[in-house]
Amino acid sequence: MSARVTRVAWARSWGPRCCRGASSFSVPPPGTVDVAELLRDATAAEERPSAAPARRTPGQCSVLLFPGQGSQVVGMGRGLLRFPRVRELYAAAHRVLGYDLLELSLQGPQEDLDRTVHCQPAVFVASLAAVEKLHHLQPAAIENCVAAAGFSVGEFAALVFAGAMEFSEGLYAVKVRAEAMQEASEAVPSGMLSVLGQPQSKFTAACVDAQEHCRSLGIEDPVCEVSNYLFPHCRVISGHLEALRFLRQNSSRYHFRRTKMLPVSGGFHTRLMQPAVEPLAQALKTIDIKQPLVSVHANVSGHRYANPQHIRKLLGQQLVSPVRWEQTMHTIYTRRRGAAFPRTWEVGPGQQLGSILRSCNLQAWKAYDHVDVLQASEDPSPEESLR
């Protein structure tokens, strides 16, 4: 993929046209990004005669990873506001969401930011604002990007970056998704449990026994299943709260080394989220989804999206399917022995995806870095700003 194509992917995602179903407008309001201006340099460069670009080695390429819900923290975005167009992103978000996302991200309170309806849009916007910072300080990371992946809601940010959706349309889908997931989570007392296991851990048996325990308490059709595959022997299990309590109380029986409840409102990525599928599907029907110009890997399978229809289908399935992040990391970073790994950038709040990458592939992690969204230095060097 040429550098120009990747630049166009990022520029294309800034389209001012808002999706149907959100507060739409026919012409760009003041402060909206002019896509034509963003594309002008890239188009002019293509029209100039030049030699064919040299083939890049793996070590010259980059991969972008977009975090998901749970990475949010009050103050995120403070380290991004000095960079071009970031405030315009938040202004566009205000129009789509109907509230001041920047104020909530910077000032909190944390309990409001942690609500599913708020944190998913907040992480989505902060991640794409982090891309703008990376683009400004390390343009080669954008121009040489060969693949992207996002964890849960982060997948929407990855698709916007790749040019498959415009920013406002992607945010509208995230808004609908977050509201529907919040409503579904309030219908059943449920949650998510992080489980660090070992080779002899019995994840399947544990879930079966936890479901049987719930039935003994009179809970009909209990849910307890793996919802996230993080790295070898580490899973997130989602389901009814009584099932998760059972697992914590009996963790030694199943050879779990450590368990921890996650600060989320529901059993995401299980059939408990089925009520959220249709609202998201309807929202996605209003969006003009395009072929990604950068390979984007799907949570549901770990493999690249094939076409716009594939994207629309799997984004709906993602709500009720486990996030196969470990499998995604293996797919992206499979290399023959001795081959160089691409530079990996985590774009968004936190460094959780970097920690997971380290456990999945230590050699790939050695070429990892993250974009700081919290610190606001006066005039940092590019490398200092990105750590």
Choosing from 246, 265, 284, the residue where a domain stops is 265
Active site amino acids: 152, 269
Angle at 228 between CA 222 and CA 229, to 5 degrees: 125
Its domain, for residue 229, covers 189-265
Whether residue 370 sits in one domain with residue 347? yes
Whether residue 289 sits in one domain with residue 258? no
Whether residue 198 sits in one domain with residue 106? no
Question: Among 143-152, 245-254, 334-343, which is the least confidently predicted range?
Answer: 334-343
Choosing from 232, 265, 298, the residue where a domain stops is 265
> How far is 159 from 153, CA to CA, in rounded Å?
10
Q: pLDDT tens across 168-222, in order? A: 999 999 999 999 999 999 999 999 999 999 999 999 999 999 999 999 999 999 9
CATH at 224: 3.30.70.250
Q: Please say if the pLDDT value at position 236 is more than 70.
A: yes
Task: Answer for the pair 225, 239: CB distance below 8 angstroms, yes or no.
Answer: yes
Choosing from 222, 241, 265, the residue where a domain stops is 265
Whether residue 138 sits in one domain with residue 11? yes
Q: In what order do the strands lie in the sheet with 145-150?
A: 295-297, 145-150, 62-66, 343-347, 368-371
> How far is 235 from 203, CA to CA, in rounded Å?
8
Q: pLDDT tens across 101-157, in order? A: 999 999 999 999 999 999 999 999 999 999 999 999 999 999 999 999 999 999 999
Q: Please say if the pLDDT value at position 82 is more than 80.
A: yes
* E-assigned strand segments in the chain: 62-66, 145-150, 190-196, 224-231, 234-240, 258-261, 295-297, 323-324, 343-347, 368-371
> How far is 315 from 152, CA to CA, in rounded Å?
9
Whether residue 161 sits in one domain with residue 197? no
CATH at 164: 3.40.366.10
Whether residue 24 sits in one domain with residue 128? yes
Whether residue 118 sits in one domain with residue 87? yes
Whether residue 137 sits in one domain with residue 205? no
Total domain count, the chain: 2
